Amino acid sequence: MKWEPKLYTSDGERRKQFSTWSIPKTIREEHGISDGLTVKITFILSDLEVTGRYKVTSGGEFRLPKAYSSEVEKAVLSNEKKAVLSNEKKAVLSNNIVFKIDLSEKIESDFMSQVYDSMNSNQKSRKARLKKAPKKPTTTTRSYVSFNRNPDVVAEVLLKAKGFCEICKKEAPFIKKSNNTPYLEVHHKQRLSDGGDDTVENAIALCPNCHRKQHYG
């Protein structure tokens, strides 16, 4: 969905900064955009169109990277002159910038939000952080419940599939070297963590692409 951000306050004062924007409440409510979510946002200005992934903080706010916010400011200011000339200042200005959210991608994982934050930051500072970062990862000890899957279910589902993905019907992308069998992944239609059964009926063999789509599509 799209929206046009306000560049002017109700008393005609121009916006002072161009880095922090906010997604209108109605849009957030309608589409379940909660705080902490990272969404794909494109901003469109006459000759500029940039897509990034931004984390939405309280009040629906998100920050554009510095480089872009100055681009936006420049573009807004250059359009302003035209707008003044046309003598329809407010109407024209409200149309010269549009944000578009693509909700096909909602990133809830904290880790992936951090990845996109890093992509949004400039390369120089990222490289500086990388230089200082410890080479060995830190570790966290966790206790968790895991499901002991039945190997017979996996075997039966793979054999039934005969090397073809059950969604796109394409052949497995490669043959596993270890045992010369086609590489497919067994997916539970109703997840085990949602109380799904570990049975042949609840499982399908998928190529890696279709499998990802099932989880993130």
Which DSSP state fits 192?
G
Instruction: Tell me how crowded residue 173 is: count the other CB atoms within 10 A of its CB.
Output: 12
Min dist CB 110 to Zn ion, Å, is 21
Segment contacting Zn ion by CB under 5 A, of 32-40, 86-94, 174-182, 208-216? 208-216
Q: Is 187 in the site for Zn ion (CB under 5 A)?
A: yes
Binding to Zn ion by residue 157, rule CB under 5 A?
no
Q: Which residue blocks in the chain are alpha helix, DSSP H?
A: 25-31, 66-86, 89-95, 110-120, 123-132, 151-161, 208-216
Quick one: which H or E segment has residue 48? strand 48-55
- Least Cβ distance, residue 163 to Zn ion (angstroms): 12
Which stretch in 17-25, 88-96, 166-174, 195-203 sits in contact with Zn ion by CB under 5 A?
166-174
**Interaction between residue 203 and Zn ion (CB under 5 A):** no
Residue 50 CA to residue 1 CA, distance in Å, equals 16
Stretch that binds Zn ion, among 38-46, 97-105, 128-136, 165-173 (CB under 5 A): 165-173
Which residues on neighbouring strands pair with residue 141, listed in sequence order? none
Of the two residues 76 and 182, which places its CB atom closer to Zn ion in the complex? 182
